[in-house]
Amino acid sequence: MRILLTNDDGIESVGLRALSERLGAGHEIYVIAPATQRSAAGHGISVHSPLSYGVLDPGGCRMRIAVDGTPADCVKLAVLYFMKDRLPDLVIAGINEGSNVGSDVIYSGTVSAALEGAYMGVRSIAVSNSDRAFLDGYAFAADFIADNLNVFSSLHMPDYTALNINYPGEKHRGSAIVPVGRNRYSDSFREVGANVLQIGGQPLDEETDGETDVSQVRRGFVTISPVTLDMNDYALLSRLKGEFST
């Protein structure tokens, strides 16, 4: 299988390396990832500036390219330029250093890279190690992906839909197919210099029960959640048609 790997933590990240090493023995691995840390980049693309890139030692991969751009940029470059003659069979974004559950998916460059792959017509998944300090989690998450690769690669995925997978902060107890939940952070800014502000915060009111990725990953399950670029609120759409019937 021809697999494109990318991420938002940078091409030298521990998670990307774990995934590349685990899948490299049996598959064609192409790594096209940001040159530097681009966490929380969301789905931004570089439309107002050119993209520079560096070709690195492949190190057992078919290709390793570091891009001065966003995770979504990397997927676009792969499909439209670097791999245009032999498109990837699968895009895997990760393994992210930290969780991408609940509201994290709004900001995540990792999830956005997978959704960009889906947008470009390639089956795609995002995978995260929910506790970046749980170093064994990267290997465990890579094993989980490798062990279930046939399932992921054979799923009939709706257009513009990707899978978002989160590995728990312990050896997993099983897997849970759940929707994305809700969580919030105590976002605030602090002054770190003259006219310079730094955002920070801690999780607030995280779900402790319920059948969502937020609660189930905390219970020790690998969560698998389909996410989509379809941002329509169909219930409200229907109600609005009634309100604005004229």
Secondary structure (H, E, C), 118-136: HHCCCCEEEEEECCCCCCH
Per-residue pLDDT at 231: 93
**Structural domain total, the chain:** 1
Per-residue pLDDT at 209: 61
Q: How many residues does the structure list for the chain?
A: 246
Per-residue pLDDT at 205: 63
- The alpha carbon of residue 189 and the mean position of all alpha carbons in its chain are separated, in whole angstroms, by 26
Per-residue pLDDT at 202: 79
Per-residue pLDDT at 100: 96
Nearest to 142 by CA among 1, 25, 12, 10: 25
Half-sphere exposure of 81 (CA within 13 A, CB side): 10
Cα 148 from Cα 204, distance rounded (Å): 33
**Residues pairing with 163 in the sheet:** 125, 226
Residues of the chain with pLDDT under 70: 205-209, 245-246
Domain containing residue 232: CATH number: 3.40.1210.10
Q: Is the peptide bond before 95 cis (omega within 30 degrees of 0)?
A: yes
Q: What are phi and psi of 104, to 5 degrees?
A: -55, -30
Nearest to 151 by CA among 159, 163, 140, 160: 163
Identify the domain containing residue 224 by its residue range: 2-243
**Residues pairing with 161 in the sheet:** 228
Q: What are phi and psi of 47, to 5 degrees?
A: -90, -15
Per-residue pLDDT at 64: 98
Per-residue pLDDT at 245: 63
136-147 vs 14-24: helix axis angle to the nearest 10? 40
Helix (H, G, I), strand (E, B), or coil: what is residue 117? helix
Nearest to 183 by CA among 159, 160, 206, 216: 206
Give the chain's end-to-end CA distance (angstroms, integer): 54
Cα 57 from Cα 80, distance rounded (Å): 22
